Chains A and B, each alone.
Chain A
Amino acid sequence: MSLTHQDVARIAKLARINVSDEEIAAVGNQLNNIFGLIEKMQAVNTDGIEPMAHPQDVSLRLREDIVTQTNQREAFQAVAPQVEKGLFLVPKVIE
């Protein structure tokens, strides 16, 4: 397989990373090299093999429904790029 420029543009858009037209060819080449390595997986028969999502086969621990957090807005917003009246500001969102 081989990623086209359109593929690269599509995933860059999905990942919200600006890739300029000048970069796209180089990025595409690197990705294709990487996928050349990845494609080696396809030669292996994995029929009937259960996918492994976690190293240990354990179940999720559940927490009691008790409030443990207190308001730390000031500390948390001290590192925010732009806030006003306690709100994080972003460029206008149009729905």
Chain B
Amino acid sequence: MTNATLKQLSQQLAAGEVSSVELATHYLDRIEALNPQLNAFITVDRVRTLADAAAADAARVAGQAGLLTGVPMVHKDIFCQQGWKTSCGSKMLDNFISPYSAHVVEQCNAAGLVTLGRANMDEFAMGSSNENSFYGAVKNPWDLNAIPGGSSGGSAAAVAARLTPVATATDTGGSIRQPASHCGVTGIKPTYGVVSRYGMVAYASSLDQGGPIAQTAEDCALMLNVMAGFDERDSTSLERAREDYTRELNQPLAGLRVGLPREYFADGLDADVAKVIEDAVAELKKQGAQVVDISLPNTELSIPAYYVIAPAEASTNLSRFDGVRYGHRAADYKDLVDMYEKTRAEGFGAEVKRRILVGSYVLSHGYYDAYYLKAQKIRRLIANDFNAAFEQCDVILGPVAPTAAFNIGEKSGDPVQMYLSDIYTLSVNLAGLPGMSVPAGFDRRGRPVGLQIIGNYFGEAKMLNVAHQFQLATDWHTRAPAL
């Protein structure tokens, strides 16, 4: 049961081999046993989970079960879920019980999925290491000294440690792909606008996108079928016909053109990671894929552009946390301004404050053109690079991060070093493209390394096809850490 995939569990439930209550109990027990080492969860509510599982079992008896009814899952603590604490990893929302549910949560509930708990994360999704959570760092299940990646570190660690078959996550600059890579699991960030942001606590509105993390590409496809879809409550949600993300899984890869961007294999890429990616490319070639040399010349500029645009949007998205209507309020203050300033100084952690300050600065009078507008122009250049590249190839392959997971504390004192490690993931968000990470090997220390697959707009089914075919031929995704 422990290593079963989402698909296998759904089949076992359908066959009556196991009940939802049994599954939930199994995972809750594992969480209870292993989470103290990993810190992957912020909230677990056994009573509520078992009640939901019992309801799923009853639905099945009543003949009302869908494909995923009764399957357990975990939500990143960024998705508002009615009646659950939705903290976003922040002291600011430590007391916030959400009065409403995100679109993604509603969709999961409607599909009959049972929530096991709420996954730890970098505060307000700002971070690449999960060291920025008010609830403490998440540990990498492969090596407790290593970071799990961020910001969806709890989601990735929970799937890797087999504390859940699947978890929701979000990706603003790599926050699904990078932790998936570091934890040896599969994750996909869809095209911007495919998954509704309604009820997903906003970090950077024009970059944020929800997606699943699971063991396999096939599970990601099944989960994306649940999470994606038009939602009129999000003005940036795209009005497109529903699609079945599993539809291309079994297509052969013969004739597939895979682009390898020169800039993703330049200086700074760890040799072990490079080797893993080369091997993965070789495997796809063996399956008939053709390799195309491409260039994404503005890749390096994605770092400054992202670290202007994301903080700018974040600085105002986070203005609503003022201690007036919900969330933390400072205990002592002398007047209104003091109440605001203390509430926010106490409620936000260091990295969040840094980004708010950077964002406030780049939008402030006299600096807007030099920073924000400039970054928006570079964003266009980056998107143009991808458009040109996709003239020559169907998917782009590369590393997710320059190295496998680094050690906890290794970069936490140096934000710039942390930011530089986002180099291969940021441009995808700036362009609004879909990207995924697929387990492809390990480095010399035995830490997982993921292969990044970048698709063209709405190319999710094709990317999942590539990942699935790769997983049919490899077993990296089946490896689980010893805990």
Contact = CB atoms under 8 A, between A and B. Distances in A.
B478 to A, nearest CB: 34
A55 B432 contact: yes
A65 B233 CA distance: 14
A58 interface: yes
Contact of A80 (B191, B326, B362): B326
19 contacts: A11-B361, A16-B341, A19-B353, A38-B307, A40-B300, A40-B304, A46-B377, A46-B378, A49-B381, A50-B380, A55-B206, A61-B232, A72-B99, A76-B325, A78-B97, A79-B96, A80-B326, A81-B323, A91-B339
Contacts of B371: 38, 41
Contacts of A54: 206, 236, 432
Interface in B354-409: 354, 356-358, 360-362, 364, 370-371, 373-381, 383
A46 B375 CA distance: 10
B308 A56 contact: no
Given A49-B377, A56-B238, A17 B357 contact: yes
Contact of A52 (B232, B315, B339, B376): B376
Closest 4 CB pairs of A and B: A55-B432, A51-B376, A18-B345, A46-B377
Contacts of B97: 78-79
Interface stretch (B128-136, B180-188, B328-336): B328-336
Interface string A60-95: 110100000000100110111110000010111100
Interface of B: 95-97, 99, 191-193, 206, 232, 235-236, 238-239, 298, 300-301, 303-305, 307-308, 315, 319, 322-327, 329, 333, 335-342, 344-345, 348, 353-354, 356-358, 360-362, 364, 370-371, 373-381, 383, 414-416, 419-420, 431-433, 457
A52 B356 contact: no
Interface of A: 3, 7-8, 10-12, 14-19, 27, 30-31, 33-42, 44, 46, 49-56, 58, 60-61, 63, 72, 75-76, 78-82, 88, 90-93
Contacts of B308: 38, 41
B329 A92 contact: no
B52 to A, nearest CB: 20
A26 B295 CA distance: 39
Nearest to A41: B304
A9 B83 CA distance: 39
A82 B331 CA distance: 12
Nearest to B300: A40
A36 B376 CA distance: 18
A94 B305 CA distance: 40
B99 A79 contact: yes
Q: Is the interface of B mostly helix, strand, loop or mixed?
A: helix
Given A15-B344, A16-B322, 17 more contacts: A7-B361, A15-B357, A18-B341, A34-B419, A38-B304, A38-B307, A41-B308, A44-B378, A44-B381, A49-B381, A52-B383, A54-B236, A55-B192, A55-B206, A81-B324, A91-B333, A92-B335
B229 to A, nearest CB: 15
Contact of A93 (B192, B336, B375): B336
A81 B323 CA distance: 7
Contacts of A56: 192-193, 236, 238, 432, 457
Nearest to A55: B432
A92 to B, nearest CB: 7
B304 A12 contact: no
Contact of A55 (B360, B416, B431): B431
A36 B416 contact: yes
A37 B307 contact: yes
Interface centre among A16, A27, A58, A81 (most CB of B within 10 A): A16
A36 B415 CA distance: 12
B323 A55 contact: no
A31 B354 contact: yes
Interface centre among A17, A76, A80, A92 (most CB of B within 10 A): A17
Contacts of B420: 37
A31 B361 contact: yes
A46 to B, nearest CB: 4
B99 A42 contact: no
A46 B305 CA distance: 13
Contact of A63 (B232, B238, B354): B232
Nearest to A76: B99
A36 to B, nearest CB: 7
Contacts of A78: 97, 99
B193 to A, nearest CB: 6
A12 to B, nearest CB: 6
Contacts of B324: 80-81, 88, 90
A83 to B, nearest CB: 9
A79 B92 CA distance: 12
Given A11-B360, A41-B375, A80 B325 contact: yes
